[in-house]
Chain A
Amino acid sequence: MLKDPGKVRAVLKDYRTAPISEAERSLFAFVDKVNHQSNQIRREDIEEARAAGWDDEALYDAMTVCALFNFYNRWVDASGVHNLPAIGYEMSGHRLATEGYVRAAPEQTAGKNCTAPQVNPRGRTEVVNLTPRMGTELSKENLERQLGLGSATAAAAGEAIAVSIFLTPAAMARSLASPA
């Protein structure tokens, strides 16, 4: 389990040497190949990831996330979206953790409790649970109290916040909006 921001940073710096489990390393190796050499993926790459404990559903989700963020990378690169100041990413990360990616208009949320992300945890045990610890403002306890979230949802939101605000390019790509 990843419980601290140091491990998140280590994965982003070099997953091959990061202090993570071999199962997690195998997942990132798979995503790395999807990201940089997708046309060279063979059945053996899938079998290797499956042997590490990942089922097809996990690989499907990992691969789809990678493919979608490749879309966002090119979309923001070509449009010329500029970096936000750090506070902008913190705010985006918080909104993404509490509201998610479909953004309600301000007048619709004024005076209401923030809706929880649509998290539906499965009954199965998580093979990977990446939960970097956060500062007090965005702690699980504060989220739970301020937003009335159940503890499982607050934990998921805390994870999402933690990752969102670390990475400038990814956080930028995640500042999404749409009329509800």
Chain B
Amino acid sequence: MEPIFLKDIEQKAKAGPKGPEFEAMEAQGVPVPQILYVFAFRPRMTDHLSRFTQELMRGTSPLSPGARELIAAFTSNRKQPPF
């Protein structure tokens, strides 16, 4: 995969504490989702983002997790779906 636009961010993420995990994924033939680099670059900040997301998407709610995922997909759907 082509590097992200912010190449320095990707490089620093790969050089940081999560580097071995990214290498292990690649060694197993698992494509590394590049958003992981955007997270790994600032872990103290993004830890909170992950926990916020987890609680929002999976915590107690009148909307099921699937409903919440569909709302998220609906929000992120900025182009005609390929299907």
Assess whether A163 is in contact with B70, with CB atoms less than 8 Å apart. Answer: yes
- Interface residues in A34-59 by Cβ distance below 8 A to B read 35, 55, 57-58
Which residues of A sit under 8 angstroms from B56, Cβ to Cβ?
61, 64-65, 68
**Chain B binding surface, main DSSP class:** helix
Say whether B76 contacts A169, CB under 8 Å. Answer: yes
List 13 extra interface pairs beyond A58-B63, A178-B47, CB under 8 A.
A55-B62, A61-B62, A76-B38, A79-B9, A81-B38, A88-B31, A101-B57, A119-B65, A156-B66, A159-B65, A163-B73, A170-B72, A173-B76
A107 to B56, CA, bound (A): 26
Task: Report the bound CA distance from A106 to B71 in whole Å.
Answer: 30
The total of chain A residues at the interface (CB under 8 A) is 79
Q: Which residues of B contact A12 (CB under 8 A)?
A: 70, 73-74, 77, 81
Interface size on B, residues (CB 8 A): 57
Against A, the Cβ 8 Å flags (1 = close, 0 = not) of B52-80 are: 11111111111111111111111111111
